[in-house]
Every structure is written in structure tokens, then in C-alpha cells.
Structure 1
Amino acid sequence: MPLDSFSLYAPTRVLFGPGQLAHLHEQTMPGKTAMLVISNGRSTRANGYLDRTAHELTQAGVKTVLFDRVGANPTKQIVEEGAELARKCQVDFVVALGGGSVMDAAKVMALLAPQPSSDLWDYATGSTGRHLPLKRPCLPWVAITTTAGTGSEVDAIGVVSKLDTHEKIGIGSPDNFARIAVVDPELMLSVPPKFTAYQGFDALFHNMEGYISTKTNLFGQMVQLEAIKSIGAWLPAAVRDGANLEARTHVAYANTMGGYSMVVSSNCSQHSMEHAMSAYHPELPHGAGLTMLSLAYFGYWAERHVCDERMVAMARALGRPDATRPEELVDALHDLQVACGVDGLRMSDYGFAGTHEEALLLARTARETMARLFMADPAPTTDEDIASIYMKSFR
């Protein structure tokens, strides 16, 4: 599709801004019974977000059943268990309260629950997915995000891991957008500095990858550049002082714009590469993995001079107004990592060996499981090219 053309379908009603959770009960709900999905951690309960959400749903006349088993990288097994609970309780819709993993899991539970097969991989792609079409419409779902990273509240795809085959695959449907999304930065004030940084860099790379992708377009570039500016200007402040609501709001804005970037354009292979990393090492936070790859990844494109003007524009958006060379984007990225305290991340700390064999395995896994993102790259790559980026990123 040429730069001056785009196709945009983003039907989610978004309630954005501080205090917006308190307005959830005023919205028209897609049913009277809901499965409320949260993580297996303590923060949603401890910070009062679960009670507040349950109160909003009660005010709206909705009864709920709780599913509280979603981990940091949602798995096929957990998604299938959630979908089974939704079937058993005959819920009308699903509510996700949490970060990107919870939203991804909940939206795929909403997709799977109505289907005749309870095996999620019947509807998955990748090397082991059976690629079957969905037989029935997805259940509606509502997103309430407590982090600023994935933009999952406004897109239609959830990423799920199959641990035994080391696959991490996006699964979705054109009718799998949330009916309502609440993006309330007040719910993000409790996110620790380290995870604020990881999530902020995830949001940054959604927009940066979209901006250099072959699917870039006028609408996407408007969204992406503004989001990149917001992250560059406000993420360090949010990391330094989590109670800075203004900084949290700007980072949350960039996060949601990153979701729209994925809807109207596409991520590139950096995201496929990280999914391969965390498929083999599920304890690796997604944003941390992306950060580890980013300097070598964008350095690779700078060296090939296939999108110089866009690289320079991003460098300027990240605070280098006089930038003229694509390499300056890599410098700006490094400065932002330093400012956010994540410049010392090491792949070796998460179990990576740093060998060429491992890098080539990761490269092949990335391409096999999420090939469509490689198709959005500024230029074609080989597995050896991708392996070289892993090798340069290793320490």
C-alpha cells in the first residue's frame, strides 16, 4: 500500500486520562455476566484496582467470575483454562484488568471460548498451528490497562506462548477488538521503575518499527512520531518518579498510539526476534528483550541506508533536533536507555549462551513463528543477517 493510502478499522471506545476508571459504569456493557481476568500476582488486589473494577461493573449491572492465573508471558494452557471457565459459566463477555499479558490472554480467551474446539492451536499459525478458520464470533471484551507498553487495549491480536515447542505467536481476528478500553494513568502509578522502563521501551518500539516498516503511511507516521516524542521527553521522568502523573499520562498516550500504529501499519522483525527470545526464556520481560536488541537492530538498518530519512526523523523526535545521519538514532536510543537505567541489560543474565548456533536457532524460530513481521521490514534479510544482530546484542 502506498504512503498516501491506509486502511483503518479501530472500533474500540477509548476512555483515556486520569480518573477514567470511575466512568466505566456509565458505558453500555456488552452483557450481564463477565469473566474478569487478572494476573497471578498481588498488585491488582493490593492496589485496590480489582475492588474498584468490580464496583464499576456492579454499578453497571454486571455479575463477574474471576480468573486470576495469567503469568508474565501467557501460555496456551492458561488461555485454554480461561476459555473453559468462560464456557462453563456462560459469560457474555470478558474483562481484562492488568498489563499487556493479561490483555493478550483475555482477548484470546474471548476468541477461543465460543469455538467448537477447545484446542487453541487449531486456530494458530506458525509451524505447528493448524490454521483453522474461526467458526463462531469472538466474545466481546473490555480492556482496563494498568501498564503503558503493549497498546493491546486497541488492537485485535494477542500473543500466546506454547512452551513445549518454544513458539510465541500472535493470534487474533478482525472482530477481536475490545468494545471499551480504559487507559487511566492513575492505575500505572504503582508500576516499579524497572518495569516502567521496560514497558515504555516496548511502546517506543511499536512506534519506531511501524515508522520504518513497508506498511508505513500518513496516518501511521502522524501517530508514531508523536508517540516517539512523548516517550523521549517523558519516560525518564516516569522512571525517576512513578508518582509523576503528567509523565505517566504522556507515556500512556504513547502506549495507546503504539496500539494504533500496529492497527494501521505493522511492527517489524525486532518484535519477532524478541518473541523468539522469550519463547525460549519465558522469564525475560518483553520490553527488556527489545531493549537488548535495539541498538544492534536499528544500527543494522542505519548501516544499510534503506530508510535514512525516517531514521533521521526519529532521531530528531527523540531529542536530537539537528540530526542528519541515521546513526544518530542509535546514539539517541542509547542516551534514552542510560536516562532510564536500562543500558546495562545483559542477555547472559537470562540464560542465553551467545553462540552462533543459538543465534541462528533464534533467527529461524523468529521467522517461522512470526514471518509476517519480516515482510514489513525496510529490506529483505537472511537468517544470517538476523543471527548477526543477536550476536552484536549479546553480552
Structure 2
Amino acid sequence: MASIRVAPTRAQRAVNLLRAVNSGTSSCPCHSNPQHHHNAHPSLNPPAGNRRRLATPVDTSRQKEYAFEMAASSIRFGPGCTKEVGMDFANLGAKKVMVVTDNTVLQLDAMKQVAEGLEREGIAYEVYSKTRVEPKDYSIREAIEFAKPYAPDAFLAVGGGSVIDTAKLMNLYTTFPDADFLDFVNAPLGKGMPITAKLKPLIAVPTTAGTGSETTGTAIFDLVEKKAKTGIAHRNLKPTLGICDPLNTRTMPSAVHASSGLDVLCHSLESWTAIPYYERIPRPTNPINRPAYQGANPISDIFSLQALRSTVKYLPRAVKDPDDFEAQSNMLLAATLAGVGFGNAGVHLCHGMSYPISSQNPGYQHAGYQVTTPIIPHGVSVAVTAPAVFKFTGASNPERHLAAAEVFGVDISQVKKDSAGEVLSEALAEFLVGLGDQPRGLKALGFKNKHVEGLVEGTIPQARVLMLAPSLDTSGGQEEREQLRGLFEEAMEY
């Protein structure tokens, strides 16, 4: 008698699938195929079939990621919405708010709106206004020590990225008052411990259109003793709410518009071209250890590409005409969009290389910044290497680099894939030159060939972002140093 094969039920199929996954025999490309193409999600290209293998011990340190997680602050966008902040804190039940700003923003209408809003709701507040532009670890520590005795139950940051990042860390270390400062700092410069508790509410009111810090769980500062720029990154660090009021960016000088916009430009380009999330190693053993910067993913791509389009369209206008409020408003929105994109996908070489450029400044002072000490604004330090970087990364994913070049107005219909990096590099350099008054390479910042080795060594510890860099050997060995050395030499002038 012929045997009858009974089709498995849905429940049986589910059990069989779970057994296959748990046995380690799944051949899903996002786990097992190192050559899988960047442009497609692995699940869209199923393998031809499964072959049963003998069970072998799994090296978890080499397992690739298989999931991505989207996290961003809630965002409120609109002219005049700063006045609602007092009601927001009342709705949160806050009684004592620590307001964080700097001496410049302290005099602006944004701070007036904030104070009036808090006072209308009868909420007590203390103002810390000594935030440093491009903060150092010691300026962060001073801010933390100021906040501890006040014991606030909420924080409000009013200012640019430096202010918002400082407020994030004040929030962190008042929640963990006994922690050593290096406990949460990114490895290898710090211990890179995860933030295991929910922090106090933090509302961020950006007054510049660049960092996107109002959306991200990242805070950046100079670690002076190590002569390196680093930071702390974790989802629990992100603000509760970002209030993006275009009226607050109207006071930005043209130079600040330009440098802030350059940060948006590189945020969007780097997150768009970062390695895909399913190529990142290692896969976290616990979701709390999944990094904020995960690699490009289908959701971050949407935000990054739109931010790039808006920046290319509106940044030249915002720099040229301080009264072009449409351009200014759209740049604030672009900064926020890019913040959501890079806050989840991450950045890579431009930012990794920018940190030693800023911290090893040979004496350059950028025009238009009201400071008495040498300063390379963050956006400038990032963009100055961009033409060299994207020329280098082009081969990793020609399609994405050509799509970015097309945003700059390049006709890519006849461009060969092996020219993608060079084409994007040239389009980017032309765009930067068109903004005017931008240093055209490291030489214009005062760097010489003798500084290259120091810049390379200052970049190596930026593992958090370098691991997302396509085409880069990230072993920490001689090959990585040679690649970085070549990039810094290429970036001397464009």
C-alpha cells in the first residue's frame, strides 16, 4: 500500500523553523554569507536550499548582526513652539528643572521663551550657562558637579550640539552619581558600559541646524589626557523630546550656518554609505548591548537620503542669505532628519577622522566664531576629509555613491560603477567650494605632512564609527594605518 504524506500544519512548520534556527543550520545570508550585497535586505534573497551540517561550536564574536532597532527622540517642529516647553515639563510632573545653555544663547530670545514658559507653569529651575563650545572632559565634569547638589528631576538644553551633549551627560552622571567618568565612555578609551537605567526627562531646544543631537543617544567631547575626541553612545541617553523651532536658528551667523550644515551633509552621506546592519560584527548577546550605531538599514536610509537632498538644496541659500527663513527652516528639519538617520545607522570615516583633527588643532581659528581660543568647528573638521573619504569608499557600493552624486546634480546615466567614488568626490568638492570661505583641505587648517602620523593614531581608537566604514580594514594593524595615512594625505587639499 502506498504511503500517504500528510502536509505539516502551520504549527508544525513553525516548530520545524525554530529547530532549524536553534540548531545553527540556518543558512540565512544575513548570518552566513559575507559576500551578500549591500543594497538588498538578506531576506529578499533566500538561499537555494539547506544542507544539514554537523553541529559545531559557534564563535559568537564572529556572528553577524541579524536585526536593527530604530530609536529616536519625539520631535516637535514648528515656528514658535518653544513657548510650549513649560507645559511639557508640567505634563511630565517635573518640579525642579536644570536648564543648560551657554553664555551666547543665554542672551537670546530662545532662553527668554524658555524662562517665561517655566515661570508660567510655576516650575522651579536653575540655569547652567558655562557650557563650552566643543566641550572637553573637564568642562563636562564641571557641569556635572554643578548639577548634583541641585538634584533636578528633569533637564532642559537650549543651544547647539555642545549644549545638548553636555546636558545629556549631566543627566547620566546625576542618575549614576557614583559612576567613574570613564565607565560609560566608548571603548577602547573608556569601559563602554551600557546605561542600564532610564534617565530623567530631557527636553532639547536646538538653536543651530547641524548636529541633530536633539534626536540621538550620542554625546561627544574631547578626552584631553588622551588627545582624542570620543563620547558616550546609548539609546537611554537620547532626549525625551526635541523642540525644533525655526525661529531659534535665525540668530546663527553665516559661518555657523555653514559649518553646522556641513555636519548635516556628512551625517547623511556617511549613514547612507555605512556598511549594512547585517554585516556588523559581533551580534549582541543581549539587546541592551546592541549599539546605537548599527549600520545602514531600510528605515535610516529614508531619513538619510532626504536629509542629503534638503541639504544640497537649502544649505547654499542659508549661507548666502541670513534672511532666507525658508532655507533656514528646511536646514533645521534636515538636521533633525539626518539625526534620525545617523543616530541609528551611524557615521564612519569623516567623523572618525574629524576627532583628531579637532583635538590636535595646530592653531587654526575659524572666522565667524566668537571665541578667543583656536577652534576648528565640528562641521569643518568633518567635511574637510569628505572628498577623499568618498573617493575611497566608492568601490564598496557604487550604486549608493552614484545615487548620492545624482543628488548633487550629476548625470549618472553614463557613469561606470568603478568611477562612482571619484564622481561623488568631485561633486562634493565642487559643492564645498561653492559655499565659499571653506578651508579646502587639511593644509588650510595648518596641518602639515609631519602631523599625519598623529592624526592616524588619533583615529585608530574611534572603533565605534570605524567599524561601520566600508572598504576599511578595521583590525587595528598596519593595513588600517596605511589606509588612514593615505586618506589624510589625500585630504591635505582638494
Alignment partner, residue 390 of structure 1: 488
Question: Is 1:318 paired with 2:445?
Answer: no
Match of 1:183 among 244, 265, 272: 244
Question: Matched residues in 2 for 1:186 and 1:237: separation?
Answer: 17
Question: Is 1:354 paired with 2:449?
Answer: yes
Question: Is 1:301 paired with 2:398?
Answer: no
Alignment partner, residue 370 of structure 2: none
Question: Is 1:376 paired with 2:468?
Answer: yes
Question: Is 1:249 paired with 2:329?
Answer: yes
Match of 1:26 among 87, 90, 96: 87
Give the letter for the 2:351 counterpart: H
Alignment partner, residue 192 of structure 1: 253
Aligned residues of 1:233 and 1:319 also touching (Cα < 8 A): no
Question: Matched residues in 2 for 1:220 and 1:186: separation?
Answer: 27
Per-residue CA deviation, residues 108-134 of structure 1 (Å, 9 max, x unaligned), is: 111111214364223223444244555
Alignment partner, residue 46 of structure 1: 107
Alignment partner, residue 153 of structure 1: 214
Bigger Cα displacement from structure 2, 176-185 vs 314-323: 314-323
Question: Matched residues in 1 for 2:151 and 2:176: separation?
Answer: 13
Task: Tell me the C-alpha RMSD between the 2 structures.
Answer: 2.1
Match of 1:141 among 198, 202, 211: 202
What are the within-5 Å matches in structure 2 for residues 251-290 of structure 1?
A: 251-281=331-361, 283-290=375-382
Q: Secondary structure at the match of 1:69?
A: coil
Bigger Cα displacement from structure 2, 307-316 vs 127-136: 127-136
Q: How far does residue 386 in structure 1 lie from its aligned partner after superposition?
A: 1.0
Match of 2:270 among 205, 209, 220: 209
Q: How far does residue 74 in structure 1 lie from its aligned partner after superposition?
A: 1.0
Q: 1:300 to 1:379 in 2, by over 3 A?
A: closer
Q: 1:319 to 1:29 in 2, by over 3 A?
A: farther
Per-residue CA deviation, residues 19-68 of structure 1 (Å, 9 max, x unaligned), is: 221232332235111111112x42x1333221111112222332111111
Question: Matched residues in 2 for 1:62 and 1:7: separation?
Answer: 39
Q: 1:377 to 1:388 in 2, by over 3 A?
A: same
Question: Matched residues in 2 for 1:319 and 1:306: separation?
Answer: 22
Aligned residues of 1:104 and 1:152 also touching (Cα < 8 A): yes
Give the length in aligned residue pairs: 388
Alignment partner, residue 62 of structure 1: 123
Question: Matched residues in 2 for 1:220 and 1:6: separation?
Answer: 13
Q: Secondary structure at the match of 1:153?
A: coil
Q: Secondary structure at the match of 1:57?
A: helix
Aligned residues of 1:144 and 1:153 also touching (Cα < 8 A): yes
Give the letter for the 1:31 counterpart: A
Q: Secondary structure at the match of 2:127?
A: strand
Give the letter for the 2:455 counterpart: L
Question: Matched residues in 1 for 2:464 and 2:153: separation?
Answer: 33
Question: Matched residues in 1 for 2:196 and 2:71: separation?
Answer: 23
Q: 1:135 to 1:334 in 2, by over 3 A?
A: closer
Give the letter for the 1:308 counterpart: P
Aligned residues of 2:100 and 2:157 also touching (Cα < 8 A): yes
Structure 1 length as normaliser, TM-score?
0.92
Question: Matched residues in 2 for 1:344 and 1:87: separation?
Answer: 41
Structure 2 length as normaliser, TM-score?
0.74
Question: Is 1:341 paired with 2:404?
Answer: no
Q: 1:190 to 1:298 in 2, by over 3 A?
A: same
Q: How far does residue 10 in structure 1 lie from its aligned partner after superposition?
A: 2.7
* Structure with greater Cα Rg: 2
Aligned residues of 1:111 and 1:172 also touching (Cα < 8 A): no
Q: Could you list the runs of 5+ residues in structure 2 that have no partner in the other structure?
A: 1-29, 31-37, 42-65, 276-294, 362-373, 474-479
Identity within the alignment, %: 25
Give the letter for the 1:307 counterpart: N
Q: Could you list the runs of 5+ residues in structure 1 that have no partner in the other structure?
A: none
Question: Matched residues in 2 for 1:212 and 1:35: separation?
Answer: 38
Question: Matched residues in 2 for 1:199 and 1:31: separation?
Answer: 32
Alignment partner, residue 15 of structure 1: 76
Question: Matched residues in 1 for 2:106 and 2:236: separation?
Answer: 30
Bigger relative contact order (CA 8 A; separation at least 6): 1
